[in-house]
Structure 1
Amino acid sequence: MNILLTGGAGYIGSHTAVVLMQEGHEVIIFDNFSNSKRSVLNRLEKITGKLIVCIDGDIRNRSLVKQTLQYYKIDAVLHFAGLKAVGESSEDPLAYYDNNVAGTISLLMAMKSCSVKILIFSSSATVYGVPHYLPIDEKHPTDPESPYGKTKLQIEQILSDLAKSDSSWRIFALRYFNPVGAHESGLIGEDPNGTPNNLMPYISQVAYGILDKLKIYGNDYDTPDGTGVRDYIHVMDLAEGHLAALDYVGNHNEAFSVMNLGTGNGCSVLELVNLYEYEASKKIPYEISARRTGDIAACYANPEMAFLKMGWKSKKTLREMCFDSWRWASTSLQKHKD
């Protein structure tokens, strides 16, 4: 298949590009590089041994999206493009609604005009909000607290309405839990601009000596060690989940589906710190701070539907996630010191 990856130079998109290309698909990346780097393209070529086709553009540029869909005879779109920082979304909600929601509408309009009706959407477990029960399955109520989470849920609602209006669409919304880790080559991984918003890259920068210490927000939660518990999933398992979803929509007549991608296991902040210290042979200094507004004690997935429907389940361990993150960090972070 000819597959367009919006935001394909980003963290999850780039790892998914590797999996798709190794499976024999033709991949075209569409990215505005607002939170990704062009150097990823050369690294993808080293990993895959194939030339990477990339369109430098914004999904809100509907005419460019349409032109790309037509020129490359696109069969399916994997939609990763979107702003994704929870805190930033509260500070600048208009940017998030414009980029995420309006951008997706622009993409869908272009797809509709070109009769491209297969879409895998990068959603998030943030759509669930504060857990009513654990583990979280797809029937759990949705009540996101941040503008970021609300944009993801609004997009899901738009996709559902679109599928109801035209049953020839094949749309899959994948609700990620907490992606971490990196490709085994050490050539690509999570490389945020500025101070990391996510835990694993922050730990990596502390381990490498870029940042002095990790700040742990709260150690008085109702969890085994008092720190927050999350469902961390290796980014390569997540990439394999997209391949499974693409295969699924090609063989089933469901116009719209949602599905969790997680491990089903919770890991606390302190557990992750201890594992990372072991795998990296580095000490991770940390301090305990007050809880942040909106943080919750625990959140982890019930991933059974993904296995029952797609035959997919996570394979990699937390130790592998930490080891692969450190391998990537130890090769990529030197630039921050230079």
Structure 2
Amino acid sequence: MTGRAVVTGGSGKLGRAVIDELRACGWRVVNIDRVRHPDPNVPTVIADLTDLGQVYEAINAVDSRFRKVDALIHLAAIPGPGLRTNSSTFLDNLTTTFNLFTAAARSGVNKVVWASSETLLGIPFDVPPPYLPVDEKCPSRPESSYSLAKHLEETMAAEFARWNPALSITGLRLSNVLDESDYRTFDEFQSDSAKRRWNLWSYIDSRDGARAVRLALEASLPGFETFIIANSDTVMHRGTLDLVREQFPEVPINRELGENQSLLCIDKARGSLGFEPEFGWRAVKIPADQVNMVELS
């Protein structure tokens, strides 16, 4: 399956990787964002996605740029809690997602993939999870205004799918998205496992996240689905079982754990999408003089 896809937030970290992935696989891509894409060859439409009128225009046609959209990939958002006020984060993200779901549904775009969030699993896990590894069967447990908006986005998606049986709408609960340059900072928290306890020491390489988006886009999955998307390993040198025994000693472990196995279970994405992470920090050789030069984002 190929065609024309609109990518919102395509100028961001994950968005750039998604656009590269889709273009490499034959998709024609239009980026909709508040800032230009760094590659001038990527057509970009500047739009305020909290404005439903602008969203309708962006989904349907923008002069000579495009006339027909086959798929929507929605990545635009305030990317996490604590970056803006709670009300601003909540209203901006929820309104943007509602506008895009509405415009897509009323414009006949029946293939939608959007960035939900790992935060729905209970991040920052001040209250321990019910079991480990966590999976999609864990009840959503938003602990911030950001994750509350994501929870309501998933609720909206389920209702949009109920209203339109032809709609395929997929939420990807993406872990902390990192580029290869971010791996330079990993030494700074190896001596203190509590520094990355907040998301169970998980991450997703932006290239693997982009491939998950494409696989979800190309899969024939009617209705509403969610998938956890994470790398298969943790960000730590220490073994996963040691980390759990230290930080979550009372939490039941529901399966045998590999040496550095992720505690965000990706079995559903493996089985339904054919997703398997290919990139990761352990294979990257960082020069000693570049360690700790880049902050995590």
The TM-score with structure 2 as length reference comes to: 0.77
Note if contact 1:32-1:58 (Cα within 8 Å) is conserved in structure 2: yes
**Structure 1 equivalent of residue 26 of structure 2:** 24
Note if contact 1:125-1:177 (Cα within 8 Å) is conserved in structure 2: yes
2:233 to 245, 249, 265: 265
Question: CA offsets, 1:198-225, max 9 Å, x none?
Answer: xx48939xx9xxxxxx6x699475xxxx
Aligned: 1:80 with 2:48:
no
Aligned pairs for 1:302-313 within 5 A:
302-313=265-276
Taking a change above 3 Å as real, the CA distance of residues 132 and 53 of structure 1, as seen in their structure-2 partners, is same
Note if contact 1:134-1:299 (Cα within 8 Å) is conserved in structure 2: no
Aligned pairs for 1:203-282 within 5 A:
203=185, 219=192, 221=194, 228=197, 229-248=200-219, 251-252=220-221, 254-268=222-236
Q: SS state of the match for residue 38, structure 2?
A: helix
> What's the CA shift for 1:321?
5.7
**Structure 1 equivalent of residue 279 of structure 2:** 316
Q: SS state of the match for residue 55, structure 1?
A: strand
AA in 2 matched with 1:311? G
AA in 2 matched with 1:64? Q
> What's the CA shift for 1:162?
1.2
**Structure 2 equivalent of residue 280 of structure 1:** none
Question: Aligned equivalents of 2:109 and 2:193: distance in 1?
Answer: 50
**Structure 2 equivalent of residue 93 of structure 1:** 86
Q: Greater CA deviation, 311-320 or 131-140?
A: 311-320
> What's the CA shift for 1:115?
1.5
Question: Aligned equivalents of 2:184 and 2:34: distance in 1?
Answer: 24
Equivalences, count? 258
1:115 to 108, 120, 137: 108
Note if contact 1:63-1:110 (Cα within 8 Å) is conserved in structure 2: no
Q: Please, what is the CA RMSD of the aligned residues?
A: 3.1
Aligned: 1:159 with 2:157:
yes
**Structure 2 equivalent of residue 54 of structure 1:** 44
Q: Greater CA deviation, 109-118 or 8-17?
A: 109-118
Note if contact 2:183-2:281 (Cα within 8 Å) is conserved in structure 1: no
> What's the CA shift for 1:241?
0.6
Question: CA offsets, 1:71-103, max 9 Å, x none?
Answer: 2211110000100232235xx111112210011
> What's the CA shift for 1:266?
2.6
AA in 1 matched with 2:45? I
Aligned pairs for 1:119-134 within 5 A:
119-129=112-122, 130=125, 131-134=129-132
AA in 2 matched with 1:308? G
* Structure (1 or 2) with the greater helix fraction: 1
Q: SS state of the match for residue 55, structure 2?
A: helix
**Structure 2 equivalent of residue 68 of structure 1:** 58
Taking a change above 3 Å as real, the CA distance of residues 299 and 265 of structure 1, as seen in their structure-2 partners, is closer
Q: SS state of the match for residue 133, structure 2?
A: coil
Question: Aligned equivalents of 1:96 and 1:322: distance in 2?
Answer: 37
**Structure 1 equivalent of residue 174 of structure 2:** 176
Taking a change above 3 Å as real, the CA distance of residues 63 and 217 of structure 1, as seen in their structure-2 partners, is farther
> What's the CA shift for 1:319?
2.5
**Structure 1 equivalent of residue 245 of structure 2:** none
Question: Aligned equivalents of 1:234 and 1:146: distance in 2?
Answer: 24
Gaps of 5+ in 2: 239-260
Q: Greater CA deviation, 133-142 or 299-308?
A: 299-308
Taking a change above 3 Å as real, the CA distance of residues 15 and 143 of structure 1, as seen in their structure-2 partners, is same
- Structure 1 consecutive aligned stretches of length 4 or more whose deviation exceeds 6 Å: none
**Structure 1 equivalent of residue 241 of structure 2:** none
Q: SS state of the match for residue 267, structure 1?
A: coil
AA in 2 matched with 1:261? I
Q: SS state of the match for residue 171, structure 2?
A: strand
Gaps of 5+ in 1: 46-50, 183-188, 190-199, 208-213, 272-297, 334-338
> What's the CA shift for 1:227?
6.1
Question: CA offsets, 1:275-328, max 9 Å, x none?
Answer: xxxxxxxxxxxxxxxxxxxxxxx983111111111111101232246759x99x
Question: CA offsets, 1:25-68, max 9 Å, x none?
Answer: 000000013xxxx3x422xx5xxxxx211001111122222222
2:263 to 300, 311, 327: 300
Taking a change above 3 Å as real, the CA distance of residues 100 and 299 of structure 1, as seen in their structure-2 partners, is farther
**Structure 2 equivalent of residue 14 of structure 1:** 16
Taking a change above 3 Å as real, the CA distance of residues 321 and 70 of structure 1, as seen in their structure-2 partners, is farther
**Structure 2 equivalent of residue 194 of structure 1:** none
